[in-house]
Chains A and B, each alone.
Chain A
Amino acid sequence: MKDHAALSEEFNIDEPRVNWHDETLWFIRQKRDRMAHGIPEWEWLRETASQIKNNVLSNLSAYLEQFEINALANGITVHWAADAKEHNEIIHSILKKHQVERMVKSKSMLTEECHLNDYLTENGIEVIDSDLGERIVQLGKEHPSHIVLPCIHKKKEEIGELFHKYLGTAEGESDPQVLTEAARQHLRDTFLTRRVALTGVNFAVAETGEFVVCTNEGNADMGVHLSEVHIASMGIEKIIPERKHLGVFLRLLTRSATGQPITTYSSHFKSPRPGQEMHIVLVDNGRSRQLGREDFRNSLKCIRCGSCMNTCPVYRRSGGHSYHSVISGPIGSILAPNLDMKEFADLPFASTLCGSCSNVCPVKIDIHDQLYKWRQVLVKEGYVSNVKSVSIKTMTWVLSFPALFAFAGKSGRWVMKTLPFLVNNKLNPWYKSREMPVPPKESFREWYAKNRGSK
């Protein structure tokens, strides 16, 4: 298996592409800033959202039970899945019951986490992803490289080639307008012919037993309202206590994600339409374990806005696929080791700990502190032991870009903070081959704004 360093190097072979990727994400980060600055009470919103989520995590078992009671009363069938396997089996059993072999699915990172598509395909069921970005990566036999912008790594010419091959657009056509129209026609036909639609869940309200799904494209609604069966998959941490709390989260989510004031559609599903079946699958898959890790439980507050990725200097220059985990970027690097410490031991090292992620996070997760803490845990547990370990290679890759880390304050303090196990240690590969970076006088933001793009 290739680690973050090796994958990043592959991504960096094409330098103009890396610069383009970097700039595109920075552009979205700037849109987010403009939106945040337009709301005088922005910090109040973040603090309130953070406190609501703290309350949720401290009372999650009661909220889950309350949600279940209300959802059942609304006519929704509630399923519980301890892990990915059980989640996939539940979905499969619903499809089998209805003798359905084709399903349409809107954005759901949870089903990616569970590798649902592979499971269903092996069982003879065809799944079509209906979010445009997800459809593109699906046609390209890839996975999303970003939780909000699944095909942010792809150029329009590559998308044009895929569409020419699979959707019959003209050869060489790469106009986003034309390609989107082709996808619209192709997917409308899909929506009209599928009897089962699966969606993710952005928020589920304990008080009312309803759940909210946010999209810009309208693909979740097109699938669901034309289907006989709606299945919604959600991680157990998506619960919020009361309906009025949606006001707080819906104000934060899309401003943070793409710099829009709200998604086009915020759909509130409470009960199935007459004749329709509605199922919700509550999935644990390691979440209750993470809840018990005091240092890392805050990662469960995440609302999957993606802004920590857009702002991360390492993410922007290494690409989402370099993280070799379903959720990439800073938050993915905290979530992944919870699932498998060995496989993902390198990820907490794919960071400069600059703290930009924590500064933008709408629910105030202390992302960079948690990355730092994971490093300690991984060292202690023996997953990071020598120069050959993937973690150190990842670290070295990050360190090989002065642009990524020179801002990190006094170098000595920085080395202590970042590489506690390497100081006074001959194994330090970086110490041997490179000079200590001189910290700049400007703040990271100013400095980075000036130096980005230049090597």
Chain B
Amino acid sequence: MTSSREKILSSVKANQPALKPLPQLELPVDVNLDPVENFTLIATNIGSRVFPVSSFDEIKEAIAKLFLPGRIVSSFTELADIAEIRLTDPDPHSLNDVNLAVLQAELGVAENGALWLPEDKMMQRILPFICQHLALVVSKKDIVRNMHEAYQILGNRNPGFGAFIAGPSKTADIEQSLVLGAHGPRSMTVFLID
């Protein structure tokens, strides 16, 4: 008996048309576009709050003002006095009570307000999804114009898991009314650091 694998592959092989070439990806880049300005505009449009900051002290001040007290987890040693910077329990369920997670994004994308967060900067895969509020810190020089540039920089790097995250979790499934805070974070804050 041939396995389904063989059956599918031979049927695909028999039925696929003659080879067509892959197109070139010549990246269309709008050189007039200011990445940071555009990122700020679009990220705000999709429900993120964006704050340019120059130090971690400013980030701490902003956190004190923006969020109610609660469990804070962060990968930044600079935030050790306000957050847990090491997770001792490997069980993802133990993070269900996290109010705020502060993590470092590798890059941001101006055209859609998304930020790339790879697993090695997540502490735990579940953290940026299970927290009530998410804050991502990204360096201004790491804002790229579009997704083509983003993948050019990332190449094939993926430590096992990674995500583009654009804004707070949301749904419009009930009569197209937009509601923030579907299953993941209720808010998204971006700190743009010099």
Interface residues of A (CB under 8 A from B): 24, 27-28, 39-41, 44, 47-48, 51-52, 54-55, 57-61, 64-65, 74, 80-82, 86, 130-133, 136, 149-152, 155-156, 159, 176-177, 179-181, 183-184, 187-188, 191-192, 207-208, 210, 216-219, 221-222, 225-226, 236, 241, 243-248, 250-251, 258, 260-273, 282, 284, 288-289, 291-292, 294, 297
In angstroms, Cα B167 to Cα A264, docked, is 6
Chain B: minimal CB distance from A210 (Å): 6
In angstroms, Cα B174 to Cα A24, docked, is 12
Which partner residue on chain A sits nearest B113 by CB separation? A261
Chain A: minimal CB distance from B115 (Å): 11
A221 touches B15 (CB 8 A): no
7 CB-based A-B contacts, threshold 8 Å = A58-B19, A61-B9, A64-B8, A82-B7, A86-B4, A260-B46, A282-B8
B21 touches A136 (CB 8 A): no
**Contacts A82-B4, A244-B152, A288-B15: A58 and B182 contacting too (C-beta < 8 A)?**
no
Counted as pairs of residues, one from A and one from B, with CB atoms less than 8 Å apart, the total is 246
Which partner residue on chain B sits nearest A191 by CB separation? B183
Contacts of B156 in A (CB 8 A): 207-208, 243
Chain B: minimal CB distance from A319 (Å): 15
**Contacts A48-B23, A262-B166: A270 and B16 contacting too (C-beta < 8 A)?**
no
Chain A: minimal CB distance from B176 (Å): 6
Contacts of B187 in A (CB 8 A): none
**Contacts A159-B174, A180-B171, A269-B161: A292 and B184 contacting too (C-beta < 8 A)?**
no
**Known interface pairs A28-B176, A136-B174, A266-B114; 7 further A-B residue pairs with C-beta atoms within 8 A, sorted by A's residue number:** A180-B173, A184-B181, A192-B93, A207-B156, A222-B184, A268-B161, A270-B160
The answer to whether B13 has its CB under 8 Å from any CB of chain A is yes
B20 touches A51 (CB 8 A): yes
In angstroms, Cα B112 to Cα A216, docked, is 14
In angstroms, Cα B182 to Cα A297, docked, is 37
A268 touches B4 (CB 8 A): no
Which partner residue on chain B sits nearest A86 by CB separation? B4
Q: Could you say which of A243, A265, A284 has the most chain B C-beta atoms within 10 Å of its C-beta?
A: A265
B160 touches A246 (CB 8 A): no
Instruction: Annotate B35-46 by CB proximity to A: 1 below 8 A, 0 otherwise.
Output: 000000010001
Interface residues of B (CB under 8 A from A): 3-5, 7-9, 11-23, 25, 28, 30, 42, 46, 92-93, 96, 109, 111-114, 119, 124-126, 129-130, 146-148, 150-152, 154-156, 158-177, 179, 181-185
**Contacts A176-B177, A244-B152, A297-B17: A261 and B158 contacting too (C-beta < 8 A)?**
no
B18 touches A58 (CB 8 A): yes
Give the top 10 A-B pairs by smallest Cβ distance, nearest first.
A218-B184, A292-B15, A261-B112, A217-B182, A133-B173, A225-B126, A247-B147, A176-B174, A288-B11, A176-B177
In angstroms, Cα B158 to Cα A244, docked, is 13
Which partner residue on chain A sits nearest B168 by CB separation? A264
A291 touches B16 (CB 8 A): yes
In angstroms, Cα B175 to Cα A81, docked, is 36
B11 touches A284 (CB 8 A): yes
A258 touches B25 (CB 8 A): no
Chain B: minimal CB distance from A81 (Å): 6
In angstroms, Cα B177 to Cα A294, docked, is 42
A236 touches B8 (CB 8 A): yes
B16 touches A60 (CB 8 A): yes
**Contacts A192-B96, A216-B170, A247-B147: A61 and B182 contacting too (C-beta < 8 A)?**
no
Contacts of B169 in A (CB 8 A): 216-218, 264-265
Q: When the two chains form the complex, which single residue of B28, B167, B168 contacts A44, counting CB atoms closer than 8 Å?
A: B28
Q: When the two chains form the complex, which single residue of B96, B124, B150 contacts A247, counting CB atoms closer than 8 Å?
A: B150
**Contacts A176-B175, A216-B169, A270-B158: A265 and B182 contacting too (C-beta < 8 A)?**
no
In angstroms, Cα B11 to Cα A152, docked, is 37
Contacts of B42 in A (CB 8 A): 261
B184 touches A221 (CB 8 A): yes
A156 touches B179 (CB 8 A): no
In angstroms, Cα B129 to Cα A94, docked, is 26
Q: When the two chains form the complex, which single residue of B7, B130, B150, B161 contacts A222, counting CB atoms closer than 8 Å?
A: B130
Contacts of A47 in B (CB 8 A): 23
In angstroms, Cα B50 to Cα A282, docked, is 41
Chain A: minimal CB distance from B190 (Å): 14
In angstroms, Cα B111 to Cα A219, docked, is 24
In angstroms, Cα B177 to Cα A27, docked, is 12
In angstroms, Cα B123 to Cα A272, docked, is 15
In angstroms, Cα B24 to Cα A52, docked, is 9
Which partner residue on chain B sits nearest A106 by CB separation? B183
Which partner residue on chain B sits nearest A131 by CB separation? B173
Contacts of A264 in B (CB 8 A): 46, 165-170, 184
A244 touches B148 (CB 8 A): yes
Which partner residue on chain A sits nearest B155 by CB separation? A243
Contacts of A80 in B (CB 8 A): 3-5, 8
Contacts of A219 in B (CB 8 A): 182-183
Q: When the two chains form the complex, which single residue of B5, B46, B152, B160 contacts A271, counting CB atoms closer than 8 Å?
A: B160
B129 touches A55 (CB 8 A): no
